Structures are given as structure tokens and as C-alpha cells.
Chain A
Amino acid sequence: MTPFRLLLVEDSANDAALVTEALALADYRPTTRRVQTLEALREALTTDAWDLVLCDYRLPRFTALDVLATLQELGRDVPLIVLSSLISEEQAITLMKAGARDCFSKDRLARLGPAVARELEETRVRRERARAEVDREILARASELLTASLEQEARLDQLVQLLVPKVADWSAFFLQDPDRAGLRLVALAHPDAARRSLAMRLNDRFPLDPQASGGPTHVLRTGTPELVPDVRLRPEPLHRDATPRRAVAELGLRSVVNVPLPGREGPLGVLSLGTLGERTLGPVDLALGQELARRAGLALENARLFQEAREAVRLRDEFLTVAAHELRTPLTTLRLQLGSLLQRTEVHHLEPEVVTRLERSVRQVRRLGTLVEGLLDVSQLSSGELSLMPERFDLEELVAEVLERHQAEARAAGCELRQSPRQGLWGTWDRLRVDQAVGALISNALKFGPGRPVEVDVGRSGAFARIQVRDRGIGVPGDQVERIFERFGRAVSSHSYGGLGLGLYLTRRAAEAHGGRAWAEPGLGEGARFTLELPLEKETRE
């Protein structure tokens, strides 16, 4: 028969013996404690856990009704059966209404066995349900905590609090500590402040032995969860030295559960649950601990990945800034040297072949400069807005200039560059940014539509000046028309087409800084059309 813990409220030793005998007849040999006063009852209920209360109806200074009231006041879910030699039907009804589970005469003790069996079973079911409810609530609150973007250790601190005192008397998170080649205590919930600080000090002074045969470090090493119903029965102590061993004993631990926090590359740490005194932990607690650890591990892993990704982006931007800055000095030297050489060739009438080669070098150095500027603009943009320096100019004239600059590139690509007839289209924009934006659209068209003409139309569209660049190349797939405007975005493999993938991104950012837009339309097998719109009125932001 199932062992259980019986609290017997009875002033007569003889009657107590009768009850024990009746239970033995039904094959029950419970751990029993007899109390005779309300004070003793209260003390027993507060310090220990009970499965059943058997109670005489009338005792020297109180009745079974007072016992029921005490149970309810302390919030203990323990069934109570009243046994009495003298009890009227009316009294019995009052008792049942007050919450007694059963009520019968002492001369009918044969009923006791079946009544106890029923109550123990019902209590077990009720307690399991209540526990499942507790677990559900803890897991739900844990998930809430873990998804909130809080500081990692603060989150773990709140998480351990959830478990105490509902499930365990104390709870702790240990995280892997590379400096100590073991575990570091990062969060601890314990009802007793003195013992809490003792545990913290203990952890600082005597780190857990990484090679221990049990406990948190063993769980970390093996990845296998551990349930120790009674730590006093551990085959080997967790600490080899006597001092920490005594200190651990002072913590008064009874049961512990240690579960690993799963990470992609092995456990990230360990979640510990423990009890003090008579309370013990079982498989249900182990299961809850594992589920909680799984969720915490996932959240920690996500937080780490997010942190790493953010750091990588920061490093990239920093690198771009430094690289662009460093590249500018040699570029300046090269430009000036080539520029002055070119001037001298004019003066000294050097061979045309030398001039051609110098001009080609100048073009390439200028192109290098554009690439470097693009990198720097991008890293600057990731930290804020593009700043504009507006001035009034003729957009058609600027487009003509840009086309002129791209003639050599167009010839190399076998493209004819055509501009719509010029009528003059004045407005106030940042000349340099618009120049870059138009240049990017034309370079893009030449790159993806070689051998075919590229048409550039400049005109008005409502309150906007509109530049359209149309090529007859490979076109842009419908699902890529937005992606190509992203930073480092491209619709094609970087193995087949070079470039940094920055031109269109900068074009769009320049358009937006002016209060305009830039977009692409996919051509169905007949190339693509890119449009840049800039406001004609003074909407330009400084």
C-alpha cells in the first residue's frame, strides 16, 4: 500500500491506537504524528507536508470545526476525516458543509480503510492538476520574460524567482565561465537572505570543481540532467575541501535538480532547483526544469546571435569608414601626378599614344575615387542622413555632362548613349548627389545592357523633374526590383557582374534626401527602366 503522512488530532491515546489498528487492518502503515492542541496542529501543518488529517470531533478546548478553519487559514490542501463517538446528523452536516471530506462514528472504523483510499487517490489527482497548472503558469511567465528584450542577467534573475517557493525552495542559474573553466553563479533565488549571500560568497571563494562527479559542473560536462532526491546520500561530495563542504552543508539542501541549458555548441550553463528541510523534488520537477532550461537556452542563444550580428555590422561600417579614409590619400597623389603629367604632355607635345594612356589612367583613377566615395557614403548613411548642399542648376545640362563622362565607358560596352532633346530644366538640388545618382543609373544600364542603346529622358512629371534611364539588357526580375536598391543588394551573382552593389542604394538615398524617389520597373525581356524623380519646388532639405 502507498505510504502516506498522517496527522492525527486526538487527545485519547487509546483511540489513537484504535485508529492505527484499523488502518493496519486495511494495510496502511502511515508515518503518523499525533497532536492534541490547536498550537501543535498549526506547528505541524506549517513545518511539514501531510496527506491526510484524521480528527476527533470534540477535544478538550476545540472541535473539528476549529481544525478545519486552521487548515483553510493556512491554505493547506489536506483532506480531513472526522471520527467521533457522539455525533448528531445535524453536526455531521455542518462538518461536511465546512469542508470535512467524511464523518463517521468510532464504532464503525471498518469504513476507515476505504475512506482513506478514496481520499488519498482524490488528493493525488487534485494535486497533480494543481501542479500542472503551476507548471503551465511558470512556463508562460518564463516565455514572456525571455522574449522581453532585457539585460540577459536581469532576465535570468527574474526567471529563478518564478520557481520559488511554488516549485522549489531555491533556484539558481549558472553560466559557463571561460575564465574559470567552469560555472559562474549568475542568478539565485532563496527565501533566506543570509543563506543567499552565503551561497554567493561560496561561489566566489570556492568555484565548483569542473571535474566533479556530480552537481552542476558534471551536468555541464556531460549534458545529462541530474535529479538527487537527497543530497546527503551523494556518493561523493561536490567539494574536496572541508571548508566549502561544511558551508554547503550549512545551506541545508535536501533535494536538487540540475539541468543543462542547451546551446548549439553544447550546454551554455545549468539551471539548479533545490529544496530545504523535508521537501523533496521528483521527476515532475526535473521535467519542468528541463523545459525551462530549454527555453532559457534558446533565448540566450538568440540574444548572443543578435549581439554578434550587430557587432559584425558595426565592424563592417567602421572598416568601410577607415578604408575609404585611408584610400583617399594615395588616390589624391595619383590624381595630381597624372593630372600634372597630362598638362605637361600638352606643353611638350608628346606622342598621342602616351596621351591616350595617360587619359585612360586618369579615367580609372577617377573611377576608383567614385568607388571609394560610395563606400564612405554608405558607412556615413548607416549612421544618419545624407546632408545636402543645394544650388540652382540646369538638370539637363548636368545629365549631358554625366553622359559625356560616360562616353568612353559606353564605347567600351558597345552602347550608344542617347539623351532626349534639351529644353532647360532648372531646379535647386545638391549638384554632387544628383551627379552621383545619374552616374550610377547610367553605369548600371551600361553594365547590364551591353551592345544595345541606352536612352536617357529628362522631363517634367507634375511637380517633379524626372530622369528615366532605359536599357535593353537582361532586365530586372519582378521580385528583385526593390532588393537592388538595398545596401550591397544585387539581382545577379557577384561572380558574373562586378561592382559593390552600392550605386542604386545611394541613388535612392540621394533621391529621398531631396524629397524625391527612385525606382525600377522590370522589363519583360526588353531591358529595364529606372526612374529618378526630384521635386521642382524648394522642398529640398538642407
Chain B
Amino acid sequence: MSRPLLVVDDDTDLREALEEVLRDAGYTVLGAGNGLQALEVLRKEPTTPALVLLDMMMPVMDGATFGRQMRQVEAWRGIPVLVFSASANARQVAEEMGACGYLRKPVDVATLLDAVAANKAPDSP
């Protein structure tokens, strides 16, 4: 069974657009509006996601906090995180939190799909 992708972004329109594009490309996609919701999704979801596409600036729980908390759980520690940020220092943020890479908003469909394909974990762990 293919592992889902988890998209975490507080902007609903953007999150849904991302989900659509990724579904069109054949992925199963889960969504969360902030870090706390994302942890909730991870807890409920029987299959560990193959990748987290993570916005940084979010209400309730931001990307950095989510990243730290996720890494504290053994089962989630290995999930690749792709930082998805509008900030100019997205690269630095990604390095600091040990993410596998970063995408700077805005991106086009091709760049997004390439980055996801290159960074997601294989389906059978």
C-alpha cells in the first residue's frame, strides 16, 4: 500500500491546491492546518506518511515546534520533511531543523512534483 503525504499549511486555499495537484499526480494526501493538527493526524493515521510538506509560519503551533515534537517520537523520527516557506531564509530554516530540503513559495507544479518525488520515503519501509 502506498504511503500518504502530509501537507501542513494554515492557508486553506493553498493547502487544498497542493492536495489537488498531488492527488492528480497519484499520491494519497493528508492535510493539517497547523502543527498541532498535524501531530493529531500522525497519531490517528495507521500508515506513516512518506513525506511532510511543512509550512513554517502557522498559528497554534508553528513548523519548527512541530518538527521538534515529531522527531521525539521514535516512529515518526525518520519521516522526511520538506520545508515549504515564503520566507527568504527558507534554506537556513530547513538546515536548522534537519529537513531533507526546502521549497520557497511560490512554486510551480513541475518544481513541486519534482521535489516531492525526490525526497519522499520509499513506499515499503
Known pairs A325-B87, A340-B20, A340-B24; A335 contacts B11 (CB<8 A):
no
Note all chain B residues with C-beta closer than 8 A to A366.
108
Known pairs A339-B21, A340-B20, A340-B24; A328 contacts B112 (CB<8 A):
no
* Measured CA separation A372–B106 after assembly (Å): 10
Interchain CB contact under 8 A, B86 and A336: no
Interchain CB contact under 8 A, B109 and A328: no
Interchain CB contact under 8 A, B14 and A339: no
Nearest-neighbor residue (CB-CB) of B57 within chain A: A325
Interface flag for B13 (CB, 8 Å): yes
* Measured CA separation A335–B106 after assembly (Å): 7
Interchain CB contact under 8 A, A380 and B88: yes
Interface flag for B18 (CB, 8 Å): yes
* Measured CA separation A376–B112 after assembly (Å): 21
B17, B20, B24, B106: the one within 8 Å of A328 (CB) = B106
Interface flag for B105 (CB, 8 Å): yes
8 A Cβ contacts from A329-350 to B: 329-337, 339-340, 343-344
Note all chain A residues with C-beta closer than 8 A to B106.
328, 331-332, 334-335, 369, 372
Interchain CB contact under 8 A, A333 and B88: no
8 A Cβ contacts from A364-378 to B: 366, 369, 372, 376
Interchain CB contact under 8 A, A328 and B105: yes
A332, A340, A343, A344: the one within 8 Å of B107 (CB) = A332
Note all chain B residues with C-beta closer than 8 A to A337.
17, 20
Interface residue count on the B side (C-beta < 8 Å): 18
Interchain CB contact under 8 A, A340 and B87: no
Note all chain A residues with C-beta closer than 8 A to B105.
328-329, 331-332
Nearest-neighbor residue (CB-CB) of B86 within chain A: A328
Interchain CB contact under 8 A, A325 and B17: no
Nearest-neighbor residue (CB-CB) of B16 within chain A: A333
Interchain CB contact under 8 A, A332 and B14: yes
Note all chain B residues with C-beta closer than 8 A to A328.
86, 105-106
Q: Give min CB distance, B103 to chain A, whole Å.
A: 9
Interchain CB contact under 8 A, A333 and B24: no
Interchain CB contact under 8 A, A343 and B109: yes
8 A Cβ contacts from B12-57 to A: 13-14, 17-18, 20-21, 24
Nearest-neighbor residue (CB-CB) of B15 within chain A: A333
Interface string of B87-118 (1 = CB under 8 A from A): 11000000000000000011111101000000
**Contact residues of B: prevailing secondary structure:** helix
Q: Give min CB distance, A332 to chain B, whole Å.
A: 4
Note all chain B residues with C-beta closer than 8 A to A343.
24, 109
Known pairs A329-B11, A329-B14, A343-B24; A336 contacts B109 (CB<8 A):
yes
* Measured CA separation A140–B23 after assembly (Å): 78
Nearest-neighbor residue (CB-CB) of A362 within chain B: B108
* Measured CA separation A328–B57 after assembly (Å): 13
Note all chain B residues with C-beta closer than 8 A to A372.
106
Interface string of A131-148 (1 = CB under 8 A from B): 000000000000000000
Interchain CB contact under 8 A, A339 and B108: yes
Known pairs A328-B86, A340-B20, A376-B88; A333 contacts B13 (CB<8 A):
yes
Note all chain A residues with C-beta closer than 8 A to B21.
336, 339-340
8 A Cβ contacts from A220-279 to B: none
User: Which of A333, A334, A344, A366 has the most chain B CB atoms closer than 10 A to its own CB?
Assistant: A333
Note all chain B residues with C-beta closer than 8 A to A336.
14, 17-18, 20-21, 107-109, 112
Known pairs A325-B87, A340-B21; A333 contacts B14 (CB<8 A):
yes
* Measured CA separation A376–B106 after assembly (Å): 13
* Measured CA separation A330–B110 after assembly (Å): 18
Nearest-neighbor residue (CB-CB) of A369 within chain B: B106
* Measured CA separation A135–B109 after assembly (Å): 76
Nearest-neighbor residue (CB-CB) of B13 within chain A: A333
Known pairs A325-B87, A340-B24, A376-B88; A333 contacts B109 (CB<8 A):
no
* Measured CA separation A403–B4 after assembly (Å): 40
Interface string of B45-82 (1 = CB under 8 A from A): 00000000000000000000000000000000000000
* Measured CA separation A340–B107 after assembly (Å): 12
Interface string of A358-393 (1 = CB under 8 A from B): 000000001001001000100010000000000000
Known pairs A325-B87, A339-B109, A340-B109; A333 contacts B11 (CB<8 A):
yes
Q: Give min CB distance, B44 to chain A, whole Å.
A: 27
Nearest-neighbor residue (CB-CB) of A365 within chain B: B106
Note all chain A residues with C-beta closer than 8 A to B17.
332-333, 336-337, 340
Note all chain B residues with C-beta closer than 8 A to A331.
105-106
Q: Give min CB distance, A338 to chain B, whole Å.
A: 9
* Measured CA separation A344–B21 after assembly (Å): 11
Note all chain B residues with C-beta closer than 8 A to A326.
86
User: Which of A321, A340, A372 has the most chain B CB atoms closer than 10 A to its own CB?
Assistant: A340
Q: Give min CB distance, A64 to chain B, whole Å.
A: 86
* Measured CA separation A506–B62 after assembly (Å): 32
Q: Give min CB distance, A147 to chain B, whole Å.
A: 39
Q: Give min CB distance, B106 to chain A, whole Å.
A: 4
Interface string of A14-49 (1 = CB under 8 A from B): 000000000000000000000000000000000000
Q: Give min CB distance, B18 to chain A, whole Å.
A: 6
Q: Give min CB distance, B14 to chain A, whole Å.
A: 4
Nearest-neighbor residue (CB-CB) of B109 within chain A: A339
Known pairs A332-B106, A335-B106, A343-B109; A325 contacts B18 (CB<8 A):
no
* Measured CA separation A336–B87 after assembly (Å): 19
Residues of B within 8 A of A (CB): 11, 13-14, 17-18, 20-21, 24, 86-88, 105-110, 112
Known contacts A332-B107, A340-B109; 12 further A-B pairs (Cβ under 8 A): A325-B86, A328-B106, A329-B11, A329-B14, A330-B13, A331-B105, A332-B17, A332-B105, A333-B13, A337-B20, A339-B108, A369-B106
Can you spell out 17 A-B residue pairs with CB atoms less than 8 angstroms apart? A321-B88, A325-B86, A325-B87, A329-B14, A329-B86, A329-B105, A330-B14, A332-B105, A334-B106, A335-B109, A336-B14, A336-B17, A336-B20, A336-B107, A343-B24, A366-B108, A380-B88
